[in-house]
Amino acid sequence: MAGTIDELIARIKDLPVSEIIGRYVHTVKKGTQTLAVCPFHDDSNPSLNINDGRGMWFCFVDNMGGDAIKFVMLYRKLEFMDALKDICDKLGWNFSDYHQPKKASPKIEMGKKLLGNSSKLFRKVAETGKYPHFQDFLEKRGLSEEIAKTYQLGYAPNGRALCDYIGSIKDPKDKEFALQISEELGLIKKSTYGDQSHYDYFRDRIMFPIWDQFGQVIGFTSRATTDEQKPKYLNSLDSFLFNKKNLLYGLHLAKNAIRDRDEAILVEGNMDQVALFKNGFEHSVAIMGVALGDNSLIKLLALTKNVILSLDNDQAGWKASIRVNAQFMAQGITPRFIDLGEHKDPDEFLVAKGATEFSKRVEEAKPFVDVQIEREFPEQIPELAERKLELLERVFEVLSPLKNSLSASERVITYAKRLGLQSDSASIVKNYEDYLDGVRRKENRAPAPPPIEEEFPPMMDYEIPIEEKVELDRQLTTVEVRLLQNLVQHPELLLKDEMAELLDFVGNDEVKSYILKLSELMYEIDESEYISVVQRLMSDDHYTAELTAVVGGALYRYQDNSLEDKVALKMIEDIKKSLQVEQLKIEKQFLKEQQGRAQTQEEQHNILQKLMTVDKQLIEIRTTNRYGKTSK
């Protein structure tokens, strides 16, 4: 029976939390308690306490907790809706009974249906065993029947298999519509002669279905079965469903492994991805061609910030690696690079050297940007200063996507020293920053290019994948964690006038937003509703998993005991002072970095004065109580 997401959440919460967590980790019943080895830290002595009465779990080491849904989000590294679906899968419930995606247009519905049925048809033809080309391909590439089934590898026979399938549609209007959409998708083409109006686009080819990240077939890559067939690889036409720049082959198979390992191997071409997957590297995905689209970049970064490049070992693959690496560096990510030696791609490497050696290469992988600079560095450093500066500017260019990050600055200094330049580190970094400023000014001065037709049509927005929401890293500080814990365990603090002043010193917008929301609710609810209200807030996907885990841990320890007024005010004052100290320490660190780059005595003097002011403020905060008196 169909329901809503709220009804699904309620149904999950009606179950003992130990029953759901027990589907993911081994649990042990000890008296009235249920315990488990905590999966969130290196735990040997069970420290995860599961309380069915409160519908919560709590780790005494990590000091965090939450409900069953939050456990699955953290354990499986899933977004909220994905966690609900995962729980449904574990319990044997039908997630689609509670969540119906936005209905797509008739055109998209028909396109998906045609592609899905075409994939089934190609697979069924391959399974007949009547086409030796297919079996020869599997044997030659060392692909088992299990892998062929996992990837739904199929065979497109020479003839009109797809045209006949479409011709079997009984309703004339539906048949005409299916023919039109099949043409747009590149499944069939119009005949230019003879009595047949259409013919199959893919004939006598090994068929590789291409999926989106949800496992929906949206196109095909096909491989020739004879040397006479051209081209060797033939893709679906770019269409309203298929855009190769915005696809990562195998993502629907790899995304859980990428989350679990917090790492992704990026390769070029579907056979490399298949080869890695069958050899145990299930956290690999392939770009389609030699370009990585922005959508693909976003999808990957939503799963992990650790990327390893292993594109083809030829000139085109190297150039593609440089482009892809720059795209990641612009997002603050420094991918690593797998050295394949003399082998042309990961597939060939695995055949020649095996999975163990590939795993070793993964462990030894260096940052790609370092490999790139090393390859461009001459074996013999030139003697002329002008030539050295030219090389250094090339280093600036390679590192520029990293902007003025510490990662870039350290490399700039290192390579300047290798070139034998005598300038001090501060001057070198200043030159790099001037180079970046020049690049920015040039970009700002450049006239806007005239509008041009895109090489590929944009992806249709018939559905917005949850994975496309990129979560920024927002590490909570120790003081922010303590603040959240105290407020959740002692909600009466939220009603104190002194809280308004304290919030002025909270630098994390998410923490501030959460506290303000909880404060608003405190004026609207009864004390008996408090736990359920905080639990509902924990399910709000506006907040990060880190924040809600801290809140969950504090709620687990909540007891309805109000603090004395004097104790409450002291607690607020202590946290406020800690937040002030934290802010001043950040400012002091920033000033020290500036001091190291100061170019003149005057700059040094000004920064020193500011540092002395910050130190004075730190002393005053640490020695002043809330009544403005200095502690003796």
Residue 628 domain flag: yes
Residue 368 domain flag: no
What local confidence, expressed as pLDDT, does residue 131 receive? 93
pLDDT digit string, tens, across residues 464-487: 233 333 333 346 788 888 899 888
- Do 168 and 185 belong together in one domain? yes
Which of 265 and 61 is assigned the larger pLDDT?
265
Cα-based distances in Å from 297 to 158, 248, 266, 454: 38, 9, 11, 18
pLDDT digit string, tens, across residues 505-538: 887 778 888 888 888 887 777 777 788 778 877 7
| Contact (CB, 8 A) for 5 and 466 | no
Q: How far apart are the C-alpha atoms of 377 and 398, rounded to whole Å?
A: 12
Give the mean model confidence (pLDDT) for residues 30-43.
85
**What are the structure tokens assigned to 94, written together?**
């039908």
Give the domain-ending residue among 224, 242, 260.
Answer: 242
Q: How far apart are the C-alpha atoms of 287 and 246, rounded to whole Å?
A: 9
- Do 626 and 584 belong together in one domain? yes
What local confidence, expressed as pLDDT, does residue 444 receive? 63
| Contact (CB, 8 A) for 482 and 553 | no
Give the mean model confidence (pLDDT) for residues 16-40.
89
- Do 183 and 222 belong together in one domain? yes
Element (H, E) at 271: helix 270-278
Residue 454 domain flag: no
Nearest Cα to 361, choosing from 342, 339, 344, 336? 339
- Do 492 and 614 belong together in one domain? yes
| Contact (CB, 8 A) for 510 and 543 | yes
Q: How far apart are the C-alpha atoms of 593 and 213, rounded to whole Å?
A: 43
What local confidence, expressed as pLDDT, does residue 263 receive? 94
- Do 483 and 627 belong together in one domain? yes
Give the mean model confidence (pLDDT) for residues 419-438.
89
DSSP 3-state assignment of 285?
strand
Residue 458 domain flag: no
pTM for this entry: 0.61
Give the mean model confidence (pLDDT) for residues 217-241.
89
What local confidence, expressed as pLDDT, does residue 219 receive? 93
pLDDT band at 231 (very low <50, low <70, confident <90, very high): confident
- Do 497 and 439 belong together in one domain? no
**What are the structure tokens assigned to 210, written together?**
């291409």
Which residue in the block uniquely carries the two structure tokens 């917008």? 509
**Residue 576 structural domain:** 473-632
What local confidence, expressed as pLDDT, does residue 54 receive? 82
Which of 368 and 228 is assigned the larger pLDDT?
368
Residue 467 domain flag: no
Mean pLDDT of the chain: 84
Strands 284-287 and 264-268: parallel
- Do 487 and 426 belong together in one domain? no
What local confidence, expressed as pLDDT, does residue 632 receive? 43
- Do 249 and 238 belong together in one domain? no
Residue 77 domain flag: yes
- Do 113 and 89 belong together in one domain? no
Q: How far apart are the C-alpha atoms of 453 and 554, rounded to whole Å?
A: 55
Instruction: Choose from 342-346, 386-390, 628-632 the range with maximum mean pLDDT.
Output: 342-346
Give the domain-ending residue among 97, 117, 133.
Answer: 97
What local confidence, expressed as pLDDT, does residue 465 receive? 32
- For residue 217, give the CATH number of its domain: 3.90.980.10
Domain count, the chain: 5
Residue 406 domain flag: yes
pLDDT digit string, tens, across residues 564-591: 888 888 888 888 888 888 888 877 877 7
Give the domain-ending residue among 242, 273, 300.
Answer: 242
Those residues with Cβ within 8 angstroms of residue 579's Cβ, 6 or more apart along the chain or in another chain = 479, 483, 502, 505, 506, 507
What local confidence, expressed as pLDDT, does residue 1 receive? 47
- Do 292 and 415 belong together in one domain? no
- Do 19 and 76 belong together in one domain? yes
Give the mean model confidence (pLDDT) for residues 298-316.
90
pLDDT band at 354 (very low <50, low <70, confident <90, very high): very high
- Do 435 and 321 belong together in one domain? no
